[in-house]
Amino acid sequence: MSEGASRSPGAPPVQAEALASLLEQSAGAVWRVGLQGGVSAFAAGAYLPTGFPRLSAVLPGGGWPVGTLVEVLSAGSGVGEVSLWLPALQRWAAGGPVRACDDGARVPAKPRWLAWVRPPYVPYGPALVQAGVQPEQVLWVAPDSPAEALWAMEQALRSGACAAVFGWAHPADDHALRRLKLAAAQGGALGVLFRPLAQVALASPASLRLVLHPRPAGGLDIEVLKCQGGRPGWVRDALRHS
Amino acid sequence: MRSGTARRGARARLLVQEGLALQGARASPLPQEELAGDSRQPAASHQGGRPALPPAPANRAVARHLWLAVHLPALAIECLKLENLLLNTSQDVELPKVIVSGEGAQCEVVAADATALALGIRPGHGLNAAYALAPQLGVLPRQPQREQLALERLARLATQYTPWVSLEAPDALLLEVRGSLRLLGGTRALLARWRRDLAREGFSASLALTPTPLSALWSARAGTPGAAVRVVSGWGPLAAALAPLPLTATRWPGAVLDRLAEAGARQVGEVLRLPREGLARRYGPVVAEQLEQALGHRPTPRARTTLPERFLEALELEAEATTVPALLPAVDHLLAALEAFLRGRNAGVHGVVLQLRHRPSRLAKDAGSVPRLTTVSLGLAAPGAAAQRLGALLRERLDRLELLSPVCALRLRSGVVVPLPPDTRALLGTEDAVEAGAAEVLLDLLRARLGEAAVHGLSLVPEHRPEAAWRRAPPKVVRGKTSPAAGKGPGQGPGQGPSKGPSQGSSQGPSQGPDKGRAVAEPVVPPPAMQRPLWLLPAPQRLRVREGLPWHDGPLVSEQGPERIESGWWDGAEVQRDYYTVRRTDGVRLWVYRERGAVEPGSWWLHGVFG
């Protein structure tokens, strides 16, 4: 019994390491949830802690998936759709540490931009600073049309110069979303596309789809519509810190 | 110990020099083979005759310089062909074309194109003789200015290989290549690359490589384009190699050549055999001097061509381009020339300007409405030189361009040329080096397609008025670690509370607030308790009022407030407001204020959204 107790803390990591190296050797032969179709971006498999315990508990890997596309559906702006991301991103964009998953993939600690593509209003500097994001991390792109916005998002995601890209582009078809997802995997960036609630019924290639339901008394319920590697579900009052 | 290392160092340098010498010696067999055919026979006669000039000193067995002469016999016509880069193969290409100079009876053919050459027309023919051979002859005047430009373009290309390029007007270049032979992989590799460059630029040239500028020039002039290159890398075979050259290659004045011909000298070797003392007296000082220079007994100073520090090149299209894709080959051509220009000086540009000149409209009524010039300017986030990168960016611009009328000429102008910092790479792993430029590349790409105005960053301004507390700024390329979040800024936020608000805003504001704020780098950040919305409306939006309360798609419930902000009386944009954070019934949080100023007091305005 004592022998078992002494071995148990050491054994699982060794096994995990062996498993990881085995999976690495058979890259392509084994499909792994969370890896982007074998593209194996350097950031694939890494997760950003969301900063909201209730939300982290539901997401696979315990945080936002990096190197992929996330879709956020809400009835309009003003429900906290952006502040949802800021706790996780302020540390990452500044070059802070990111929790890596077991297969050893790591996110480089390197300051990068937070790109805002075609935001509905002016991203307000003082508010960003209050949330811990430095104004010089902001790259604000204001294209004329949704099509240009999709193009700009794709370039920003693929470049490797952005930690995260927030985009407001509607309409966007399935093909465009696929391109964004691939670009995010290539650039190791987090892509977040904000879309109107009407898109709920349509299928989407995004790895994670969230629907935001503001609570009348304040706070936010989050419906996880689709979650690669996890399960759909509801998170009640997701932003509460208890 | 110290002297020991110094000696080792000296020894190593000596070895390197020997290595160079050896390489020079190894390089020489190739020329002798090539020259064998024409040099052996005169060399024999040379031994038989009495040498007019002493052989070169033995201690200079390996020449210090090697000059590559590039003679362009057809420059007069090729420089025009180059301008017609996009020439359609229409019927007038079939017509033979010649370039002529002189007037009336003196009018003679300077250069002829392939069709004319095939009909038997040769440079030097009179115009009438040419017409006799080809009645349907296209005759073009010589354009010395264009020839000079073409020569400069080639000189620019040549600066890739050596810093010492001399322009030998009107139709030749001299390159000193001894210093760069090793770098470029030897004579063969250099010649192959240079020939490829010439072919790409559309020039036919005859080349020669010898230890003195004049001997190289003469050899090149005597040769024909496409023939084997004459290479003489040592002093030994130089005189023998010069001997069979025709005297016309020296371009001495006609009268001198005539008198030499009377004396029976038609080749350089025959002049070399003439008694040296009499040369200068009988045939003028030029002959004796140039012979000595050609053999390396006297120095031949050659100026280094310095090229303009800004790149400017134009290209005329004979076939007008009506679509953008038709322009692209010409743009690529200009960019390739720009890249060579920049490579030559290890420099980059911050931007380029491409101008498209439109054909003047044939209809008089359109003359005013159609612009004559379309300008496409491209800025780069970091200086660049690669034609490929610039081409990709320009294409983004051009793709969105609508040509209102056909384009007949292009002009590419560089911005300020700046030296490129050397490429630094990490010793282990190259990932960082690749990523370092990613931000600049992204910026350039976005700006090229969306325009300069569509891409920006943010900066904070120490101001209490919400709409003035931020400013658009050029995006900052982040390098190194940024300081940790400065969210907990100094507590001097706009209005510490409604109670202190008015006094602080009006008394402290002008004297201390802005001035001090501008002096220190730390911007004013409202304390966490004074929450700011992530979205700011470009301009406040008037709210309707129902039963004395503001209304925005529903009733609004106050969550926080009021926060009083009073500031800015000194610049005419005074603000007297009470801000509230409110929640709508559907959960949307808004930032609204109640006007307290003289204009419409008590009115409600929406200023931000908590995104």
Nearest-CA distance from A89 to chain B in Å? 12
- pLDDT band, residue A36 (cuts 50/70/90): very low
- pLDDT band, residue A78 (cuts 50/70/90): confident
d(CA B347, CA B341): 9
d(CA B339, CA B334): 9
Q: List C-alpha distances in Å: B588 to A78, B581, B584.
A: 5, 11, 5
pLDDT of residue B41: 37
Query: pTM of this prediction?
Result: 0.55
Nearest-CA distance from B544 to chain A in Å? 19
Contact predicate B579/B587, CB 8 Å: no
Task: Using a pLDDT cut of 90, give the percent of chain A over it.
Answer: 26
Candidates B435, B460, B609; nearest CB to A121? B609
What H or E segment, with its residue span, contains residue B3? Answer: helix B2-27
- pLDDT over 70 (residue A160): yes
Kindly list the residues from chain B whose CB atom is less than 8 angstroms away from the CB atom of residue A135: 457-460, 470, 473
d(CA B484, CA A84): 20
Contact predicate B32/B237, CB 8 Å: yes
Contact predicate B424/B329, CB 8 Å: no
d(CA B111, CA B500): 90
d(CA B476, CA B460): 13
Q: List C-alpha distances in Å: B478 to A66, A135, A138, A187, A192.
A: 20, 11, 10, 17, 22
**Cβ pair A129:B487 closer than 8 A:** yes
Rounded to the nearest integer, the mean pLDDT of chain A is: 78
Instruction: Name residue B104's amino acid.
Output: G
Residue (of A217, A109, A136, A148) closest to B476 by Cα position:
A136
The per-residue b/e assignment along A40-64, b for 16 or more CB within 10 angstroms, e otherwise, is: bbbbbbbbbbbbbebbbebbbbbbb
Q: List C-alpha distances in Å: B128 to A135, A223, B100, B102, B567.
A: 77, 92, 11, 13, 89
Instruction: Please name the residue of chain B whose CA is at the shortest distance from the CA of residue A95.
Output: B481
Nearest-CA distance from B468 to chain A in Å? 11
What H or E segment, with its residue span, contains residue A212? Answer: strand A208-214
d(CA B221, CA B216): 9
Contact predicate A208/A70, CB 8 Å: yes
d(CA A172, CA A180): 10
Contact predicate A165/A117, CB 8 Å: yes
Kindly list the residues from chain B whose CB atom is less than 8 angstroms away from the CB atom of residue A160: 435, 438
Residue (of B585, B484, B470) closest to B533 by Cα position:
B470
First-last CA distance in chain B: 72
d(CA B239, CA B55): 8
Residue (of B149, B78, B86, B81) closest to B111 by Cα position:
B78
Contact predicate B56/B296, CB 8 Å: yes
Structure tokens at B87: 């020439």
pLDDT of residue A181: 92
Contact predicate B133/B165, CB 8 Å: no
d(CA B322, CA B358): 10
What string of DSSP letters covers B498-552?
Answer: TTTHHHIIIIIHHHTHHHHHHHSSSPP---TTS---SEEEEEEEEPEEETTEEES
Instruction: Please name the residue of chain A whose CA is at the shortest distance from the CA of residue B471.
Output: A125
pLDDT means over runs of 10, chain B (611 residues) = 46 38 38 36 39 46 80 82 47 69 80 81 84 82 81 84 84 88 85 87 87 90 82 82 87 87 86 82 84 84 75 83 87 89 83 86 59 82 80 86 85 82 53 60 86 89 88 75 36 36 35 39 68 90 87 86 87 89 88 88 91 84
User: Please, which residues 540-569 of chain B have a Cβ atom closer than 8 Å to chain A?
Assistant: 559
Q: Please give the residue that has the higher pLDDT: either A23 or B117.
A: B117
d(CA B148, CA B141): 15
A200 to chain B, any CB pair closer than 8 A? The answer is: no
Q: Which of A82, A86, A136 to mutate to test the interface with B (most CBs of B within 10 A)?
A: A136
pLDDT of residue A31: 53
pLDDT of residue B36: 33
Residue (of B208, B232, B362, B384) closest to B296 by Cα position:
B232
User: Please, which residues 83-142 of chain A have a Cβ atom closer than 8 Å to chain B?
Assistant: 83, 90, 94-95, 108, 110-113, 119-142
* CB neighbour list of residue B179: distance below 8 Å, 6 or more residues apart: B162, B164
Contact predicate A97/B513, CB 8 Å: no
d(CA B8, CA A229): 66
Contact predicate B101/B117, CB 8 Å: no
Contact predicate B159/B165, CB 8 Å: yes
Q: For residue A115, what are the β-bridge partners? A: A139, A165
- How many Cα atoms are found within 13 Å in the side-chain-facing hemisphere of B358? 21
pLDDT of residue A209: 92
Q: Is the ipTM of this complex over 0.90?
A: no
Identify how many contiguous H helices and E strands chain A contains and give both numbers. Answer: 7, 11
Q: List C-alpha distances in Å: B7 to A205, B14, B20.
A: 70, 10, 20
Tell me how many residue pairs between chain A and chain B have CB atoms under 8 A apart. Answer: 190
d(CA B215, CA B39): 14
pLDDT of residue A210: 93
Instruction: Please name the residue of chain B whose CA is at the shortest distance from the CA of residue A85.
Output: B611
d(CA B448, CA B394): 7
Q: H-type helices in A8-85, by residue range?
A: 11-25, 53-58
Q: For residue B595, what are the β-bridge partners? A: B577
Q: Which of A116, A144, A159 to mutate to test the interface with B (most CBs of B within 10 A)?
A: A159
* CB neighbour list of residue A159: distance below 8 Å, 6 or more residues apart: A187, B438, B439, B441, B442, B445
d(CA B464, CA B502): 12
B384 SS3 class: strand
The per-residue b/e assignment along A157-181, b for 16 or more CB within 10 angstroms, e otherwise, is: bbbbbbbbbbbbbeebeeebbebbb
